[in-house]
Amino acid sequence: MNAATPTKAYFYGTCLVDLFFPDAGMAGIQLLQRAGVEVVFPEGQTCCGQPAYNCGFFEEARAVARTQVALFPQDLPVILPSGSCAGMMKHHYPDLFRGQPEEAAVRAFSARVYELTQFLVDVLDVKLEDLGQPVKVTWHSSCHALRDLGLKGQPQALIGQLAHVELAPLARERECCGFGGTFSVRHPEISGAMACDKAEDALATGASVVLSTDGGCLLNVKGVLEAQAAPLRVQHIAEFLWERTHAR
Amino acid sequence: MHGETDMNEGGPSGRFAPSASPLVHPHGVTERSPATPSDPSFRASATRALGDAQLRANFRRAMDGLMAKRAAQFPDPGDLQALRDLGTAVRARSLLRLPELLEQLEASCARNGIRVHWAETCDQANAIVLGLLKAKGATRVVKGKSMVSEEMHLNAFLEAHGIESLESDLGEYIIQLDHETPSHIIMPAIHKNKGQIARQFSQKIKDATYTEDVDELTALARKVLRQKFLEADAGLSGVNFAVAETGTLCLVENEGNGRMSTHVPPLHIAVMGLEKVVARLEDVAPLYALLTRSATGQPATTYLNLISGPRAKDEMDGPREVHLVILDNGRSRIYGDPQLQATLRCIRCGACMNHCPVYTRVGGHAYEAVYPGPIGTILTPQMEGVGRRHDLIHGSSLCGACSEVCPVEIPIPDILVRLRREATHADAGSKVAGKGTGQTMTEDLAWRAWAAVLKRPRLYRLSAWFATRFRGLIPGGMPLLKAWTMSRTTPLPAPRSLQERIRKGGLPHV
Amino acid sequence: MSDARAAILARLRSSGSGGPLPDLDTAVLERRHWSAAERVQRLRQGMASVHTEFLEARPEDWPAVLRAFCEREGLRTLLFGPATEAGHRLVEAMAGSPTALRPYDAPVETFKTELFQSVDAGFTTTVGGVAETGGLLLEPGPREPRLLSLVPPLHLALLPTSTLHDTLWSAIRALGWGQAPPPNALMISGPSKTADIEQTLAYGVHGPKRLVVILVHDLPGTPA
Ligand code: SF4
């Protein structure tokens, strides 16, 4: 770790991790701590506001976003275990607050936002030692992580560090799983078809775990796999990395 | 040309078949349902399309092939980005100077002997075309491919006036035989396989014998259509780019039917949307390079046809008259909004649909619109009204695959979000067609309640507490959940939320 | 309809759209600088990949090469523009050939049916070629009418290797099409084709079924 490496950072849990994948949140915090980062977890976290934003309810999204930005006053990195929420805070907050009094403050906040694997690789350059049993996994890149946030293989790089993990890529790795927030309930038939194809793709890899950075995708694919009683589980990348690399 | 074998052609009979149409009434589960019976419904048609295994297989195979071919044309990401930036700048510059360039185009065309006509609406454009045909006593028209003429429903209009209007692009010809509309803006008959086309040809073309051989089917169409070119009184075409400085109409094609339609008959009428103009002829070079590569993965098409005038005095052939009809049909309104103006940069390459996971699964007809796919989801609502086409605006997971490949970098997901806003809010100063007409009390209240909870951490904490404690009791009858569980199990919150764990036990320590 | 014109322009103008025009960075178009030999090779590669055929010739013998081809293929009629210099040489070279030369020297209306039904091939010159993607540049006009390269099922085109440009962009600039465009100008990369049936390529859909380029090696030092 060089001198410029931050030693302190905020962690933003996101609503989906908070409610559905708390272990992933814990794991994310521990991964950071182990890399020498003091983690600050402010109280009062709710949601980044993306659902309302994506539906065009900007005032509502802003009202929520405002309360969230206020939780991170210090000039520290803000780490999220979600490519989608990180994309929202990093790239859409500046749009959402354009022309608002707090625009400058929000821009400064957005500039500090990172997705977890991005931070682990690009900023901390972590080295992982695999302590787990051999396993074959597959990777689903969430669209927002890929295209809003611009993740460039950081999660795969981390998985690649694990000596006993074989990464079997999906045939259509860059294709959406069909979650899309409210899309999944406004157009459940199309969304369902997409999710089913994703699950089928994952199953065809022969992997036993589907990994992703995003709670929405994970819930979506998990729901389909469970409905079909498929022999495949989903796991958040943070939880997977932590599980395999810490001594019990 | 056939795509690689595809493991994912699951269709409804596959292991992961979504529970499709019969289970749920199309309108039964949304939290809002403002559509009147006459309104188009993307959801209902998409649901039907999803149930058609053949259709899904046809699209999947075709889109896989097109994506691979495009990717092969852009081996260097840096070059691709530089070319896209240039294409975007060319189109953006053209739009910034649009009124001036249109006037210049008109003057240059006039100098070249091309007559320019203006139409605010499709009705006006149709009337202009009809008037030009009638003036020449034309009754047989051959058409090159033109999406604007689809917008005008020109074929039906002309036929109602006793004029035969025959599509000559092979794909357009195929669907016209079946009285269908294009399911793709570049490959209109892509929803059909050769077996379907073989049956159709053998039934509808005189003296045709059944064959599934693509060369023979093509030869059959060639025979029929060459006779039609020979006899036609007039040719109609679209325009890919119109050059203001030189008064040049640029047509991009592979088949030669465009050249036939524009050079053989004595009268040529071109129709174009008013956004198609560019300043200089050399501007066409980067746009052409982007268009052919993005659309079909070709470095160049067979023909780039630059028309700058009718038959000159000493020429032996070419049309004696060339007319250009410039159509507005809502474009000038779209133009008036700085963000939405980007919609008009589109060069109609179709790459956004080729890469769209929704389009790939439901095909073009499900959109019930002239322009399907991602570009259709932003263009159609702006033309027809955002409330009326609320279903289309939401017919996207906002995955961004479209804008990632769009050669002129149209931010389709951002525009969709903006249109979602326009549909549900009647903002003062907005010029969007049908603004606010998709607003419902239910949705307004839902988002207000959402914000009320999430901007108050204590309320959120309380809800999280309830959600985790009573996680087994989530009412299955809730409309949103019912939609979700059509293909999935009910999502179950964890026994304790992350925040509760940290509050109770503190942060972990490594 | 001038009402429509005024209304449309007024609406566009009232939008208040304007502001600085974005710069055009054409560097990506300007990087190609191939040698003469590379241009030929690229053009050939690009056009051959879409089924264009090539005949090799020298400036002095291309008419003979063409004649030999016509006779080998058993062409009965070859349509051509008699007023060009190439046309003159063709007339000389084809004297006595079983392939009949048919001059395109009257308005198409006088022989349209014949043109569509009984002409085997059309011969045209070109004004250049595009190396990058592989294409011929044509300026149809009074001496070589537009349909000459379109209606006959076989198109024979004469292309001196000295006239190749790197890219379409450089060709448009060099030929001055942006200043004084001919009534019709074309870039042609191969015989007409379609993929409208199941994405399967089929050649010869409406226009020529074959495109044969007579490549005239007229640059010093290029082997024929
Ligand atoms: S929106 Fe972009 S990708 Fe889609 S058709 Fe238009 S130019 Fe092509």
Give pLDDT, residue B18: 38
Query: Residue B256: closest CA among chain C residues belongs to which residue?
Result: C207
Q: Report the pLDDT averaged over residues B74-83.
A: 96
Confidence of residue B16 (pLDDT cuts 50, 70, 90): very low
Tell me which residue has its CA closest to atom 8 in ligand 1: B349
Q: Does A190 touch chain B (CB under 8 A)?
A: yes
Asked, for residue C98, whether it belongs to a domain, the answer is yes
Could you tell me how far CA A111 lies from the centroid of its own chain?
17
pLDDT tens digits for range B475-507? 656 678 888 999 999 888 999 999 999 999 999
By residue count, chain B amounts to 510
Contact: A47, B454; criterion CB under 8 Å? yes
pLDDT tens digits for range C104-153? 999 999 999 999 999 999 999 999 999 999 999 999 999 999 999 999 99
Q: Does A42 touch chain B (CB under 8 A)?
A: no
pLDDT tens digits for range B84-139? 999 999 999 999 999 999 999 999 999 999 999 999 999 999 999 999 999 999 99
Q: Does A57 touch chain B (CB under 8 A)?
A: yes
Contacts 24+ apart (CB under 8 A), B462-466: B464/A18, B464/A19, B464/B493, B464/B497, B464/B499, B464/B500, B465/B497, B465/B500
How far is residue B213's CA from residue B295's CA, in Å, rounded to a whole number? 25
Tell me which residue has its CA closest to atom 7 in ligand 1: B346
Asked, for residue C18, whether it belongs to a domain, the answer is no
Closest atom of ligand 1 relative to the B412 alpha carbon: 1
* CATH number of the domain encompassing residue C47: 3.40.50.10420
B464 vs B69, which has greater pLDDT? B69
Confidence of residue B29 (pLDDT cuts 50, 70, 90): very low
pLDDT tens digits for range A137-181? 999 999 999 999 999 999 999 999 999 999 999 999 999 999 999
pTM above 0.90, yes or no: yes
B419 neighbourhood in chain A, CB within 8 Å? 56
Cβ of residue B267 lying under 6 Å from some atom of ligand 1: no
How far is residue B188's CA from residue B170's CA, in Å, rounded to a whole number? 9
Beta bridge mates, A135: A165
Could you tell me how far CA A195 lies from the centroid of its own chain?
18
Q: Out of A19, A43, A175, name the one closest to residue B494 (CB).
A: A19
How far is residue A136's CA from residue B291's CA, in Å, rounded to a whole number? 41
pLDDT tens digits for range B276-326? 999 999 999 999 999 999 999 999 999 999 999 999 999 999 999 999 999
On the question of pLDDT at B271 being above 60, the answer is yes
Burial of C2 per CB tally in 10 Å (0-12, 13-18, 19+): exposed
Residue closest to A100 by CA, chosen among A136, A145, A134, A63: A63
Give pLDDT, residue B14: 37
Superfamily designation of domain B74-329: NagB/RpiA/CoA transferase-like (3.40.50.10420)
Give pLDDT, residue B469: 83
A58 neighbourhood in chain B, CB within 8 Å? 421
Asked, for residue C50, whether it belongs to a domain, the answer is yes
Give pLDDT, residue B40: 81
Cβ of residue B407 lying under 6 Å from some atom of ligand 1: yes
Distance B278 CA to ligand 1 centre (A): 17
Q: Kindly report which listed range (A182-186, B23-27, B298-302) carries the lowest average pLDDT score.
A: B23-27
Domain residues of chain B, as ranges? 13-63+349-424, 74-329, 456-505
Q: Kindly report which listed range (A22-36, A170-184, A198-212, B481-495) carries the lowest average pLDDT score.
A: B481-495
How far is residue B373's CA from residue B351's CA, in Å, rounded to a whole number? 10
Q: Report the pLDDT averaged over residues B240-265.
A: 98
Give pLDDT, residue A29: 98
How far is residue B455's CA from residue B463's CA, in Å, rounded to a whole number? 13
Give pLDDT, residue C141: 96
Cβ count within 10 A of residue C196 = 29
pLDDT tens digits for range C156-208? 999 999 999 999 999 999 999 999 999 999 999 999 999 999 999 999 999 99
Give pLDDT, residue B474: 60
Distance B410 CA to ligand 1 centre (A): 7
Q: Which residues does B469 contact at the CB level (< 8 Å), separation at least 6? A: none
pLDDT tens digits for range C15-47? 876 788 999 999 999 988 999 999 999 999 999
pLDDT tens digits for range B161-216? 999 999 999 999 999 999 999 999 999 999 999 999 999 999 999 888 999 999 99
Enter the ipTM: 0.97
Q: Which residues does A33 contact at the CB level (< 8 Å), separation at least 6? A: A39, B508, B509, B510
Choose the residue to mutate in B67, B184, B340, B346 for probing ligand 1, maximizing ligand atoms within 8 Å of C-beta: B346
Q: Report the pLDDT averaged over residues B397-413.
A: 98
Q: Which residues does B309 contact at the CB level (< 8 Å), separation at least 6? A: B112, B113, B114, B247, B322, C183, C184
- The boundaries of the domain holding residue C83 are 34-216
Cβ of residue B352 lying under 6 Å from some atom of ligand 1: yes
Give pLDDT, residue B33: 39
| Number of domains forming the structure of chain C | 1
Cβ of residue B378 lying under 6 Å from some atom of ligand 1: no
Q: Out of B112, B120, B188, name the one closest to residue C8 (CB).
A: B120
Closest atom of ligand 1 relative to the B347 alpha carbon: 7
How far is residue A29's CA from residue A34's CA, in Å, rounded to a whole number? 9
Asked, for residue C22, whether it belongs to a domain, the answer is no
Cβ of residue B84 lying under 6 Å from some atom of ligand 1: no
Q: Are strands B234-237 and C193-194 parallel, antiparallel or unpaired?
A: unpaired
Cβ of residue B410 lying under 6 Å from some atom of ligand 1: yes
Q: Out of C8, C50, C146, name the one closest to residue B263 (CB).
A: C146
Choose the residue to mutate in B84, B347, B402 for probing ligand 1, maximizing ligand atoms within 8 Å of C-beta: B347
Q: Does C223 touch chain B (CB under 8 A)?
A: no
The residue written with tokens 């178009």 in the block is C29
CB B410 within 8 A of CB B403: yes
Distance B375 CA to ligand 1 centre (A): 6
How far is residue A222's CA from residue A242's CA, in Å, rounded to a whole number? 20
pLDDT tens digits for range B417-463? 999 999 999 999 899 999 999 999 999 999 999 999 999 999 999 88
pLDDT tens digits for range B203-215? 999 888 999 999 9
State the average pLDDT for chain A: 96
Distance C28 CA to ligand 1 centre (A): 21
How far is residue B435's CA from residue B382's CA, in Å, rounded to a whole number? 9
* Position C75, amino acid: L
Asked, for residue C7, whether it belongs to a domain, the answer is no
